[in-house]
Amino acid sequence: MLLLVLVEMIGAIGGGSRRWLDLGFMILQPSELMKPAIILVLARFYDTLPATMTASWLIQMGWPEVVVLDNAFTGVTLESGTPGSDLPEAIGAGLQTILASELQASLEVGGVAVIDLATSLEYKAAHIPGAFWAVRARLDEALAKAPADATLVFTGSDLALARLTAADAVAAGRVVKLLEGGNGGWKKAGYTVATGFENLTTANNDVQYKAYDHDENIEFHMQEYLSWEIGLVDLVDKDSTARFRHIPA
């Protein structure tokens, strides 16, 4: 504020307007200071916005004892990297593993079938050529479509999920191996990947698709989502189990 007052009092005139302070060694336009100030304010705002919005939704859904922790990470040492799996070692213990190089050789010879437990969108983006896409909860559908005499090699982006599903397949009487490193290990080894939905064993409704995740009828899917969102309030009103309440602004 003081700088703006000084501009009016002793500011330099240029281009027919008085906007600058001539400090001798530099010319300063006070309004330029607002740029970093706005960045800092917005950074602070968006740092707490997700937690505040989530807390607000929880309160409106019936959980009144909700608080937002201020300065949650101040003075706290944060961890990084992929969290370890809490999967009990007993589950999947004894599963035979296979290296990416060994799988590549086996695929060339035949007698193996890859079962991919990644999300359908991940599978669509990149998967081992010929791999079957499956959902653990519908493993019976995958087992029915995979060759009965083939050794099943389980993989995915989540190795814990792949291991769990492989153990289920063993219990179902199938010969099973687990790909070391999963899909990430295959890609890291530099082997070819395929795209698209070539071998779905079940409906690809495992995750919510955004409009642009679809290959066609994008405008239809955008309208479909907007219609659902606009009608959500009426759906909540009709749901006798909903505890959502409106908090006046």
Tens-digit pLDDT profile for residues 54-67 = 888 888 877 878 98
Tens-digit pLDDT profile for residues 164-223 = 999 999 999 999 999 999 999 999 999 999 999 999 999 999 998 998 888 889 999 999
Tens-digit pLDDT profile for residues 101-130 = 999 999 999 999 999 999 999 999 999 999
* Over residues 141-163, mean pLDDT: 94
The answer, as to whether pTM is greater than 0.85, is no
Query: Which domains can be identified in the chain, with CATH numbers?
Result: 1-63 (no CATH), 96-188 (3.40.250.10), 210-239 (no CATH)
The answer to which of 39-43, 70-74, 82-86, 217-221 has the lowest mean pLDDT is 82-86
Confidence of residue 83 (pLDDT cuts 50, 70, 90): low
**Per-residue confidence (pLDDT) for residue 12, from 0 to 100:** 56
**Per-residue confidence (pLDDT) for residue 123, from 0 to 100:** 97
Statement: residue 76 has pLDDT above 80? yes
Distance CA 64, CA 47 (A): 23
Q: What is the torsional sign of CA 169, 171, 175, 177?
A: positive
